[in-house]
Structure 1
Amino acid sequence: MKILITGGGGFVGQLLAEHLLNDNHTVILADIFEPPVPAQAKNKQNATCLKADLYEDAQSVLSKDLDVIYVFHGIMSAGSESDFDLGYRVNLHSTLRLLEAVRQTCPGVRWIYASSTAIYGQPLPDMPSESTMPTPQGSYGTQKVMLEYAINDYNRRGLINAFIFRFPTVSVRPGKPAQAASSWMSGIIREPLQGQESILPCDDDFEAWQCSPKTLIKNLLIALTLKADCMPPHIRQVNMPGNTSTVKEMLQALREVGGEEAVKLVKREKPSQEIKDMLDSWPIRFDVKKALDLGFVADQSFKGAVEDFKASLA
């Protein structure tokens, strides 16, 4: 298949591209900078890397023979909250322009959109599902849910073959910290396992909904096999599987994998009220029956994600 990944220079885009290239797909990586071809990928000759501003010229990354588009580009939660204009430009308007360009160039393409559990806000039931009304308490979640409705409408009208996945926080992410309110969930593992200090802005009883990179990629590949009629044409959202861990459990996983010295590198710091309110608004458990019925896989334990990251350092 010929597959476009927007936000192809980011962690998820790079990891997915590696797997797609290893499976001998043709992959176009597009980002605001020219993204690299993943270093560990096979079949590098099947990759094309494009520097593109989707707000200015979404058409430039498209071709009539595209089979799939993974839409990953965006400004994360804390970044969207701190820069109102940039968040709306990148997260909302550039994606709307990409949708319209797709309608003109490659209608019917499989569109796999990375949404977020940030579309939910309080008050919430104990186990939110796809039928729970989104009430986001941040600009990032608001932008995501606005796009969900637009994508559903394009799908209903037969302009795209859309799938909307509300992913948990992905942890443990390698690389540099992201502009996300949840970035510390990776940071308190990633940095200490490399001998560096990391900031923890939450108490031990704080709970978070997460999934590992390994499970994320498995589910993104499963998305290539879903039938168009597996969901109603106007309801394409899926809450993806994850697991709930407390900060105490995260630190215990770090202790078991990295030892007490790693835990000592985690430093407590109070978050800003803005970030605290955002974190406290996010749900921590989900009804994921729809995802499991569609064939998506459940996540491993948080300790498993920590072990995976440590193994990657070797």
Structure 2
Amino acid sequence: MAELTHVAPATSLDDVVEILERDGAVIVEDFVDAETLAGLRADLGPGLEAAGYSESGYDGQKTKRLSSLFQRSPRHMTSVVLQPQFLGAARRLLQQPTHMWIGKVRMEVTPSIQVSFTQAIRIDPGQGRQPLHRDDAMHLWRHPGPPCRLQLMLAMTDFTSANGATLVIPGSHHWDDERAPAYAETVPAVMPAGSALLWPGGVYHGGGANTTDSPRHSLSVAFDLGNLRQEENQYLAVPRETVLTLPEEVQRLLGWDRCPPGLGQVETQDPHLLLEQTLEELAVRPRGANPLM
């Protein structure tokens, strides 16, 4: 494959999901509008400038990283995670029904999804290639098998082969866990600013080398299954006061939700209720039906 498939914002969700399942990656051009892109740059640029370089070779010793993005840019991050192809593909790929037995009752259960990880990234001139890796290794996920993550890399400046465009191995989400990745198998995610690369967690990828004189700016977000621990602790990263300003769907995506059949509950109830009530009020509130029944 000479290059990754590019689609437009109007491309159907069915087509986006088909490409992701087949190739393991797709680029959505014009993923965000000019206002959102400018707002993200304004909100996150000063923090990235002030951030120190990474100390490890894996993270890049000439790479700057900034997290807690919903605290730093709640309005524009909301636009990113609610983009229909990203959120829709995550729900389609990850929220697969399963079943369990409760006594003699066979129950079908569909897990939720959640924002697991947010990070702005600046790859500066002189940074070499990042080691190729799978992001679902964070959860020690085994392959082949169903995905547990869908990740996004938003280009905040143009991505080129020379400035560190993300390197992707198409089809590597179909590999088992014994096959090692090689740079010779990668394809650079070349795309204009405002575009986004989507890929499931089982795809081998890594940041490219920046051999230019200018930094490469990007932003990454991951959706994970709701029954896994979030890679970034959103409850500490995003204060309750900020969460209260967000739409309910985003609040739930940040973890203020209960993943069926009952993970994340507070006083056996939906934690979203805590955004409107105190813990004491929740404790004496009449319980709803047991989610396992």
TM-score, normalising length from structure 2? 0.23
Higher relative contact order (CA 8 A, sep 6+): 2
Please state which structure has a larger fraction of its residues in helix.
1
| Larger-gyration structure (1/2) | 2
TM-score, normalising length from structure 1? 0.22
